[in-house]
Amino acid sequence: MAGFLDTLFSSPIFTWWNSPTFGTRLFTSRKGEKIGEDEQGNQYFREKQGRRRWVLYKNGPIEASRVPPEWHAWLHYTVDTPPSEQPPVVQPWEKPHQPNKTGSDEAYVPGGSLAARGARQATASDYEAWSPE
């Protein structure tokens, strides 16, 4: 019985953090108009008879940092034209979009951090304990 309940409550009917819920998929199929897709496979929609805009993430966690800047601007009404209709001008100094890696094995860890592997490097301002003579 516990296995059934675990499966039931981890399904998309009740959870939203791994995939769109049944309600979101139903709303999207009835009232959504697909506008475009980004390089990760995320799909972007707008309401046929309204102003709502939303994203359905392809695979992986539902994480806002997975939305590229040009789509973020469209989702938040900063621009009216979606990137699928008018791609943004990419400057030569711009780097490709990366999702937030915090909390993963790929997260940046500076050399002096406690999370860094190995011993901490000595610095000129290291603390020296006082000892009586």
What is the pLDDT, as a whole number, of residue 23?
A: 86
Confidence of residue 14 (pLDDT cuts 50, 70, 90): low
Alpha carbons 105 and 121: distance in angstroms, whole number = 22
Please name the residue ranges forming H helices in 20-113. 22-31, 69-75
Alpha carbons 11 and 21: distance in angstroms, whole number = 8
What is the pLDDT, as a whole number, of residue 7?
A: 53
Distance of CA 47 to the CA centre of its chain: 22
Q: Residue 54 belongs to what H/E stretch?
A: strand 53-56
Out of 41-45, 56-60, 71-75, 79-83, pick the least confident. 56-60
pLDDT, greater one: 133 or 35 = 35
44-71 per-position pLDDT tens digit: 999 999 899 999 998 877 888 899 999 9
